Amino acid sequence: MIQFLKLFGKLGTTYLNGRISKSEAKAKHAADWDTVAQQNAGNSFKDEWLTLLFSIPLILCFIPSAVPYVKEGFAVLEEMPDWYQYLLSLVVACSFGVRSAVGFMNRKK
What predicted TM-score, i.e. pTM, was given to this entire model? 0.49
**Which among 67, 109, 60, 72 is positioned nearest to 89, based on CA atoms?**
109
pLDDT of the chain, 109 residues: tens digit per residue: 677 666 666 766 776 677 777 766 666 665 666 666 666 666 667 778 888 988 999 999 999 999 999 999 999 999 999 999 888 888 877 776 665 555 555 565 5
Cα→Cα distances 66→47, 76, 79, Å? 25, 16, 21
